Chains A and B, each alone.
Chain A
Amino acid sequence: MSKEMLTRMGDGERVPTTLEELREDIAAGTEDAARKGKIPPLNAEDQQLLLEIMADPAKFVSVKPGEEVIVTDDGGTMSFYTCQDGGGVGIPLSRLQAILTYERACAADTVSMGHSDYSYKPVKPIINFEMNDYYNISMQTTVPFFYGAQPNLGLYYQPDGPCPNPADLMPMGKIKEARESQEQAAAYLEKDLVFVAEKLASVGCEGINLDTSGSAGDADFLAALNSVRRIKQKLPHMPVIMGSANEFILGMHGAVTFDGQRLAGMYPHKQVKVVEAAGADIFGVAVGTNTSESTAWNLARTLTFIKETVKEASIPVHCNVGMGVGGVPMMESPPPDMVSRVSRALAQIGKIDGL
């Protein structure tokens, strides 16, 4: 059979393909997720619909009327005014201007702001500046307006932070010391997360986003969970989005637990249950893109995790969709041809509550 259509690899390279190759990639992608997550693969009907989506000859695809989902973001408006390092286009807008432009010119469902160094640790010393900007901007926004940042436990390790670096300790065989350092760092992080949430609540914060929780492993994820629980106890009307960093939680510590459940190795359908137990209002699933595989493979894999997560979840599930996550190719300007296919598939097959 001749090569009849174009698709993309996980690194964004446009490649010719056939219907049969797409079918095989979809089967392989879903099997990979099913095996690793110990969850059901996509059924035949879902795989067929995914094939139709990927093989659609149009450049841009979409859902039918009535299937629309909402969109949340992780400081997306920074893309207006930051440089290439932040995926930005360098327009010198203020945060207020960028947020209102996104809300009104781009018809955003929700908006958010964050520190340029999008982590909670650097927010703490400048919290008054953030509170001031949040308060001013919130008077003008109409849609839900979040404050977001990443827990980023790694910032609490030397040389950036006070705790000995586990990455230095573990090669020396100092596992006990590495674990103790992670536990101490997690305690500092939890305190900072709660501090920032309380300060923002005092200026009417409409919601807080803990983005990429677990990026530094299971102790990072634990700190986020503990802080969500404390935030919801102290501030029951503070909506919390907790997003994950990866489809499984890296066991850098290996033994930390939440409500008796070990966090290391958890896949999204288990992650959502501990996030619910902590009290979060929305869970953000992250599934990394394999740049050596096709978008069809990556999307089938993502959908397999997503479908099981949505089935298990009692709270809304939003899929992280961006460069290198959710099935989208890892490239500086994610191409609309694949982003639209990912979005449509997540809505129609994954049954997500948002992107």
Chain B
Amino acid sequence: MAWMQLTRKMKLPEAKSYVAAKLKIDVNQLADEEIMRGIREDLGIGMITSVAGSPKGIRAKIKIAELLEIPINSVTLFKSQLGDSLK
């Protein structure tokens, strides 16, 4: 929701609807810890607890940017630095 407010100036209800649609869940499931734990792990967008090898930080943010279709500046810089390595 925070990413949508920052990158698209979405007010909270619109941000919740947008993110819920991207995650293919209902809006009222966004704050359901049990449902979100599984979704975050499956999509690799970062979890609270630390599972070895599970995406965190820039790795998770790359996936978040793709999922939400938004620019995240640290991701843009990261990709530019990798250049042809990603191809």
Chain A: number of interface residues, binned into ranges = 35 or more
Query: Is the pair B5, A237 in contact by a Cβ cutoff of 8 Å?
Result: no
* Residue of B1, B32, B74 touching A204 (CB-CB under 8 A): B74
Chain A interface, DSSP helix/strand/loop, else mixed: loop
Query: Is the pair B72, A206 in contact by a Cβ cutoff of 8 Å?
Result: yes
Residues on B with C-beta less than 8 A from A72 are 2
Find residues 46-87 in chain B having any chain A CB closer than 8 Å to their own CB: 46, 48, 50, 56-58, 60-61, 64, 71-78
Residues on A with C-beta less than 8 A from B50 are 104
CB closest residue in chain A, given B74: A204
Docked Cα-Cα span, A139 to B10, in Å, equals 26
Query: Is the pair B12, A316 in contact by a Cβ cutoff of 8 Å?
Result: yes
Docked Cα-Cα span, A205 to B15, in Å, equals 22
B6 an interface residue at 8 Å Cβ cutoff? yes
Q: How far is the CB of A266 from chain B (nearest CB, A)?
A: 21
Find residues 123-141 in chain A having any chain B CB closer than 8 Å to their own CB: 138-141
A66 an interface residue at 8 Å Cβ cutoff? yes
Q: Known: A66-B31, A70-B12, A316-B12. Is A144-B77 also a contact (CB below 8 A)?
A: no
Q: Known: A139-B57, A140-B56, A142-B46. Is A315-B9 also a contact (CB below 8 A)?
A: yes
A192 an interface residue at 8 Å Cβ cutoff? no
Find residues 1-57 in chain B having any chain A CB closer than 8 Å to their own CB: 1-3, 5-7, 9-12, 15, 27-28, 30-32, 45-46, 48, 50, 56-57
* Residue of B1, B32, B61, B72 touching A70 (CB-CB under 8 A): B1
Q: Known: A139-B74, A206-B73, A316-B12. Is A239-B31 also a contact (CB below 8 A)?
A: no
Query: Is the pair A66, B27 in contact by a Cβ cutoff of 8 Å?
Result: yes
Q: How far is the CB of A171 from chain B (nearest CB, A)?
A: 43
Docked Cα-Cα span, A255 to B6, in Å, equals 32
A143 an interface residue at 8 Å Cβ cutoff? yes
Q: How far is the CB of A236 from chain B (nearest CB, A)?
A: 9
Residues on A with C-beta less than 8 A from B12 are 69-70, 316, 352-354
Q: How far is the CB of A245 from chain B (nearest CB, A)?
A: 21
Residues on B with C-beta less than 8 A from A314 are 9
Docked Cα-Cα span, A143 to B30, in Å, equals 15
Residues on B with C-beta less than 8 A from A66 are 27-28, 31
CB<8 Å pairs between A and B, sample of 21: A65-B28, A70-B12, A72-B2, A109-B2, A139-B78, A142-B45, A142-B46, A142-B61, A143-B46, A204-B74, A204-B76, A206-B6, A206-B72, A207-B6, A239-B6, A281-B9, A282-B9, A314-B9, A316-B12, A352-B12, A353-B12
Residues of A at the B interface (CB closer than 8 Å) are 65-66, 68-70, 72, 104, 107, 109-110, 138-145, 201, 203-207, 237-239, 241, 281-282, 313-316, 352-354
| 10 residue pairs, one from A and one from B, having the closest CB atoms | A204-B77, A204-B74, A142-B46, A239-B6, A353-B12, A140-B57, A138-B74, A316-B5, A204-B73, A142-B60
